[in-house]
């Protein structure tokens, strides 16, 4: 493994060769970009600056959207709390209704019993 890593001639020459190839590839890439920009009639630097400027313009919008999303999450939590409270209240109303119906039934039974005793 050490021999593979060190390459021919040792570590330093292997690294120097790798750096040389990297510099050559970078220069070739830059030359190709320059040719492309010339053919396209576009300055990539100004294009980059325009993209950066547009990104700067969108920054407040993104922040506003984040604020809006946080507010919406708060509102959704509040709505969920209200929904749960309304559900609990409906259960309490149902219990009151059931108790009222039981009281009406008890009163009706009492009246019927009193009427039956009076008739007897």
Contact 17, 7 (CB under 8 A): yes
Model pLDDT, residue 50: 67
Average pLDDT per 10 consecutive residues for the chain, totaling 120 residues: 56 77 91 85 74 77 89 92 94 96 96 91
Alpha carbon distance, N-terminus to C-terminus of the chain: 115
Lookup: tokens for 49: 């600056």
Domain ranges of the chain: 1-42, 43-120
Model pLDDT, residue 57: 79
């Amino acid at each position: 493994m050490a021999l593979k890593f060190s390459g021919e001639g040792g570590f330093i020459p292997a690294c120097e060769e790798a750096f040389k190839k990297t510099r050559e590839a970078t220069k070739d890439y830059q030359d190709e970009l320059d040719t492309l920009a010339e053919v396209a009639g576009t300055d990539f630097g100004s294009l980059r600056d325009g993209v950066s400027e547009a990104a700067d313009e969108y920054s407040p919008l993104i922040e506003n959207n984040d604020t809006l999303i946080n507010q919406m999450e708060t509102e959704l939590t509040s709505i969920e709390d209200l929904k749960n409270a309304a559900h609990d209240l409906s259960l309490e109303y149902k219990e009151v209704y059931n108790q009222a119906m039981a009281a009406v039934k008890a009163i009706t039974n009492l009246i019927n019993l009193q009427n039956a005793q009076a008739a007897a």
